[in-house]
Amino acid sequence: RDRTVPPDLERLTLQMLEKRRERRPQSMQEVWEALDRYLAGEQERERLRERADQCFQRGLQELASYEALRLEREFAMQEERDLCRHIRPWHSQAQKQHVWAVRHRLQMLDVLYAHAFATASDYLRQAIDQGDGHAAARDKLIELYWHRHDEAAAAGDDATKLFFARQ
């Protein structure tokens, strides 16, 4: 068997070459209709591949956003730790407001970070579902999940670690 010939087309070709007349298509109209159905299926698969590639590209954009937010979040967490080391409970409210502002920014970054993760993983899953298991999307999704697994392990969050290990 030639693996480059699609099975539907091979089946039609073999049917046309059948020795017994009753097994062959009875008219060119039947052949034309079968070819038309085949081409419609090919066009649908191509459309799904294109949609999968579009989802993959959007997923990559969201992954870039996710990575940028991760870096900004790490910077804000370090800034909060540094400020908390230097500002004590007896310091004035004016000095503490900067810590509060950093914590508020960190909360906003956490929400955006979670949203970017969810959006990226959704686009990557859509690419996998629509594109015959889109290998690049699958690899990126695995990479993303393992990153979240490692992040949860570093934070001591066993439930989240287990969740992403099982995905």
pLDDT one-digit tens code per residue, 85-122: 988 888 888 889 999 999 999 999 999 999 999 999 99
What pLDDT is attached to residue 58? 97
Q: Which long-range contacts (CB under 8 A, 24 or more apart) does 57-65 make?
A: 58/123, 59/120, 59/121, 59/123, 59/124, 59/126, 59/127, 59/137, 59/140, 60/140, 62/116, 62/119, 62/120, 62/123, 63/120, 63/140, 63/144, 65/116, 65/120
The pLDDT mean for the chain works out to 90
What is the percent of the chain where pLDDT is above 90?
A: 60
What pLDDT is attached to residue 160? 86
Q: Which tops the pLDDT comparison, 11 or 117?
A: 117
What is the percent of the chain where pLDDT is above 70?
A: 97
Q: Kindly tell me the number of DSSP H helices and DSSP E strands found in the chain.
A: 5, 0
Q: Give the pLDDT mean for 123-135.
A: 89
End-to-end CA gap in the chain: 37
Q: Is the pLDDT of residue 2 over 70?
A: no
Q: Which tops the pLDDT comparison, 119 or 5?
A: 119
Q: Is the pLDDT of residue 1 over 60?
A: no
Q: Is the pLDDT of residue 159 over 60?
A: yes
Q: Give the pLDDT mean for 3-12.
A: 81
| Cβ neighbours around 130 below 10 Å, total | 20
Of the candidate ranges 14-23, 43-52, 66-75, the one whose mean pLDDT is the lowest: 43-52
Instruction: Tell me if the pTM is above 0.85.
Output: no
What pLDDT is attached to residue 131? 65
